[in-house]
Homo-oligomer: A and B are copies of this chain.
């Protein structure tokens, strides 16, 4: 099934202890679309400014991503500036310029019908909700978020959970949203608000999956060298939903394996700066790493 991704397309300026990169390709929809494109046909819905380099649109297309829904509007592309601490564990936002996202009213392109899975990548829950209600997708609906929306748009986010099949968030966000220290309790809270399945991403410590009757734990892929954690969560969500979109009927084993694919795709995202690195990954590399991961975790 096709996967439609809505989220941000951005130009990031990232500072890590070892390097500083200016205006590189970022955004939740970008990472998620690249990641999903390894497994299923993807349509992206987002907005960029007239300053957005055409080469990046071409890069999305070269991975087979349908960019009909990627609108270019007069004004500046969304920009995010951040600095990571020495362990790359925490990003401090130094600046956010909404640009064309200010007052953005996404339109559903003619290429996207209700016959689609929908990934509401990390973006304002009001926008996520708007697209969900306009599209009324018949497939799976997944929703990712971040601390910013949990504190600033809590009600809109909680309202949206009723519509969501798979809710993804990280451990700190799960604790923040639920007020529960224990992640099992935090997942239960999300389920009580309507999310049918909950995925808690723990970064370098892997991920947890909760639903009625199925719990699954997956460690992260061990990496020699992490360069830039930006987009890891978006890439995880994209890989997971892309993999699920490649299945005609989703079994519980597919759900388990979708977390493995999310994990592996995220491991490629953090090895290089910018979403461009992910775009250049080859499917053969993905397959090798999945096999290695199987070996690393079997007992």
A-side interface residues toward B, CB under 8 Å?
87, 181-185, 202, 205-206, 208, 215-219, 222-225, 253, 256-257, 259-260, 296-299
Say whether A206 contacts B222, CB under 8 Å: no
What residues of chain B lie closer than 8 Å to A225, measured between beta carbons? 182
What residues of chain B lie closer than 8 Å to A298, measured between beta carbons? 256
Say whether B184 contacts A215, CB under 8 Å: no
Say whether A182 contacts B224, CB under 8 Å: yes
* Known pairs A182-B225, A184-B224; A216 contacts B296 (CB<8 A): yes
Say whether A299 contacts B253, CB under 8 Å: yes
What residues of chain B lie closer than 8 Å to A202, measured between beta carbons? 205
* Known pairs A202-B205, A205-B205, A205-B206; A217 contacts B297 (CB<8 A): yes
Say whether B219 contacts A87, CB under 8 Å: no
Measured between alpha carbons, how far is A82 from B182 in the docked complex, in Å?
A: 22
Measured between alpha carbons, how far is A171 from B253 in the docked complex, in Å?
A: 31
In the complex, what's the smallest C-beta–C-beta distance from A194 to chain B, in angstroms?
Answer: 22
Say whether B222 contacts A299, CB under 8 Å: no
Chain A to chain B: the 4 pairs with minimum beta-carbon distance, closest first: A256-B299, A205-B205, A217-B219, A217-B296
Say whether B183 contacts A222, CB under 8 Å: yes
* Known pairs A216-B297, A259-B299; A181 contacts B87 (CB<8 A): yes
In the complex, what's the smallest C-beta–C-beta distance from A187 to chain B, in angstroms?
Answer: 10
Say whether B205 contacts A257, CB under 8 Å: no
Measured between alpha carbons, how far is A225 from B181 in the docked complex, in Å?
A: 10
What residues of chain B lie closer than 8 Å to A260, measured between beta carbons? 299
In the complex, what's the smallest C-beta–C-beta distance from A203 to chain B, in angstroms?
Answer: 10
Say whether B296 contacts A215, CB under 8 Å: yes
Q: A183-B222, A185-B224, A205-B206 are in contact. List 13 more A-B contacts (CB 8 A).
A: A182-B224, A206-B206, A215-B222, A216-B296, A217-B219, A218-B219, A253-B299, A256-B298, A257-B299, A259-B299, A260-B299, A297-B297, A297-B299
In the complex, what's the smallest C-beta–C-beta distance from A249 to chain B, in angstroms?
Answer: 18
Measured between alpha carbons, how far is A185 from B223 in the docked complex, in Å?
A: 10
Say whether A219 contacts B219, CB under 8 Å: yes
What residues of chain B lie closer than 8 Å to A206, measured between beta carbons? 205-206, 219
